[in-house]
Amino acid sequence: MPSHSHGPVIDLRSDTVTRPTPAMRQAMASAEVGDDVLGDDPTVIALQERIAQLMGKEAACFMPSGTMANQCAIRAHTEPGDEIIAHGDSHIIHYETGGPAALSGVMVCPLSGAAGIFDAPDVEHAVRGNDCHSPHSRLLIVENTHNRGGGSVWPIEQIQRVTSAAKKHGLRTHLDGARVWNACAATGLKPADYARHFDTLSCCFSKGLGAPVGSAVCGDKATIVRVHRFRKMFGGAMRQSGIIAAAALHALEHHRERLVDDHANARRLADMLREIPGISTPLAVQTNMVFFDLAPKLGTAANFAARLHQRGVWMLATAPQRMRAVCHLDVDRNMIERACEVARELAGADTPVGAR
Ligand SMILES: *Cc1c(COP(=O)(O)O)cnc(C)c1O
């Protein structure tokens, strides 16, 4: 863990910053491996079987990143000139470098809706008629939990409604479930309860679950054959990848139950931050993410982030006055409270009597 003159760094930039635990490193060190491009790495095979089973799908394909997982799924479902329907704040639009256009030659029709969530009439309205002028509406993508929506959780009934609307019009459906584990921890639903509404889903092992690398795409056999082909085309086929698959397997078995702790820490963090004059939390904390806004008197988010960083508290500025902090495996309750104290000091607020 990096340290700092004020003690260990409290890194709240993302849940991707976690270091593998000693037990995870042990699992990696002792992993049996083969050559996954030749199809005989037993640990990758075991991971793919395990994740497919957890999701209630026929097959799965291990991926180097969540971005590649989404992009291979998009490529597998579409042809150039097709259109995807997704929320305008979605990860595939903002953080995947224009991948849908560059790699699949598709357009994205952006929907609006609070916290990254839309409903069936929005889908109905976006689906295009079948004439020679229009792109083909081909694929609906739902992101759960929703990153830019503040780690928001889709109500399962609403997932059922939007995917039914899509299917009625012959669209395929994909869940960007990078943080579907957090949705499960928040609702008590099983991953398969979400997955059953979609043709394919991607999920990430290197965020809340704490593995160093890796994601997966799950779906029916025929679609996963295509996903696997595009993974190769995009340069993501790996050799002795059992080493990292072992970390993902370990994370699946050992790090899912504890996600509720991250959610409790995030609520605590938001509660403490909200008490600081000039700080507000515009998005409800539903999972492990906290977004907070700074009043102009506290300076810009970039400046606040830089001052926090000097004091060993790392967060991201995501807009001129907006900051993001994410709770994860490597931050405990004490670190959360320490981070708030530092924020309080920087904001020039007195420590409340009860907290002295
Ligand atoms: C992080 C993330 C991804 C994938 O990101 P990688 O950094 O490529 O692993 C995809 N979708 C969402 C919603 C994410 O938060």
Distance (Å) of CA 280 to CA 52, 264, 316 = 41, 19, 16
Q: Tell which one of 14, 93, 146, 147 to mutate to probe ligand 1, the residue whose CB is within 8 A of the most ligand atoms.
A: 147
pLDDT given at position 353: 47
C-alpha 158 to ligand 1 mean position (Å): 22
**Cβ proximity of 71 and 102 under 8 Å:** no
Q: Which two tokens stand for residue 142?
A: 């739902």
C-alpha 203 to ligand 1 mean position (Å): 9
Closest to 65 (Cα-Cα) out of 216, 230, 250: 216
Q: Is the CB of residue 15 below 6 angstroms from any atom belonging to ligand 1?
A: no
Q: Is the CB of residue 224 below 6 angstroms from any atom belonging to ligand 1?
A: no
- pLDDT tier at 356, thresholds 50, 70, 90: very low
Axis crossing angle, helix 259-274 with helix 333-346, rounded to the nearest 10: 20
Distance (Å) of CA 15 to CA 96, 110, 212, 326 = 18, 26, 11, 6
> What pLDDT, in 10s, does the model give residues 23-78?
999 999 999 999 999 999 999 999 999 999 999 999 999 999 999 999 999 999 99
C-alpha 215 to ligand 1 mean position (Å): 9
Give the whole-number percent of the chain exceeding pLDDT 70.
96
**Cβ proximity of 169 and 126 under 8 Å:** no
> What pLDDT, in 10s, does the model give residues 134-157?
999 999 999 999 999 999 999 999
> What pLDDT, in 10s, does the model give residues 66-106?
999 999 999 999 999 999 999 999 999 999 999 999 999 99
pLDDT given at position 8: 83
Residue 301: alpha-carbon gap to chain centroid: 23
